[in-house]
């Protein structure tokens, strides 16, 4: 595949994750606030943001968008995002303050604590704690 690369550059680069929704402006505002992101592009039917770490998300208008219904089987998990955070409680307060809602906030067993949420349009996502799991001293 070396012939597919020009001067050490990959032929394909990851682009942007696009979420369909009825109101892209409102959903972009939720993720801008959650990710401390900036607006990078907007048109009548699509809004794109980029976070400080370079994560790119776009929101495309679909007047017939059906919100995901996870954990129910109908319309389940049309897309799922995972976000890494250092402070689950602080991130949860931000999510709820921006209009998101908890789906499953019981701590998962195992090396990584995680919690499930839905954005205002119903897309589910998970927060995973990135802190060390070493036992607390004292």
Which of 20, 49, 40 is closest to 123 using CA atoms?
Answer: 20
Position 12 scores a pLDDT of 59
Residue linked to tokens 């972009």: 28
Q: Which residues pair with 69 in a beta bridge?
A: none
The rounded distance, in Å, linking the Cα atoms of 59 and 67 is 14
Q: Which domain holds residue 134?
A: 79-138
Convert 25-41 to b/e letters by CB count within 10 Å (16 or more is b): eebbbbbbebbebeeee
Position 122 scores a pLDDT of 87
Token duo for residue 9: 């550059």
Half-sphere exposure of residue 72: CA atoms within 13 angstroms, side-chain side? 6
Mean pLDDT of 102-123: 76
Q: In this structure, is residue 69 part of a structural domain?
A: no
pLDDT tens per residue, range 42-64:
999 999 999 999 999 999 999 88
Our count of domains for the chain comes to 2
Q: How confident is the model at residue 138 (pLDDT cuts 50, 70, 90)?
A: very low
Give the count of beta carbons closer than 10 Å to the beta carbon of residue 104.
Answer: 14
Position 1 scores a pLDDT of 47
Q: In this structure, is residue 74 part of a structural domain?
A: no
CATH number of the domain that residue 44 is part of? 3.30.720.120
Indicate whether 89 and 31 sit together in one domain. no
The structure's pTM equals 0.72
């Amino acid at each position: 595949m070396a012939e597919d690369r020009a001067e050490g550059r990959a032929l394909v680069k990851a682009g942007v994750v696009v979420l369909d929704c009825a109101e892209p402006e409102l959903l972009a505002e939720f993720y801008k606030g959650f990710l401390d992101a900036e607006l990078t592009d907007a048109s009548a039917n699509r809004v794109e943001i980029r976070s400080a770490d370079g994560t790119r998300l776009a929101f495309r208008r679909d007047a017939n968008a059906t919100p995901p219904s996870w954990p129910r089987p109908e319309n389940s998990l049309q897309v799922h995002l995972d976000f890494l955070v250092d402070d689950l409680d602080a991130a949860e307060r931000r999510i709820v303050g921006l209009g998101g809602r908890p789906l499953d906030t019981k701590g998962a067993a195992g090396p990584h604590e995680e919690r499930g949420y839905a954005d205002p349009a119903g897309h589910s996502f998970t927060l995973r704690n990135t802190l060390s799991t070493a036992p607390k001293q004292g």
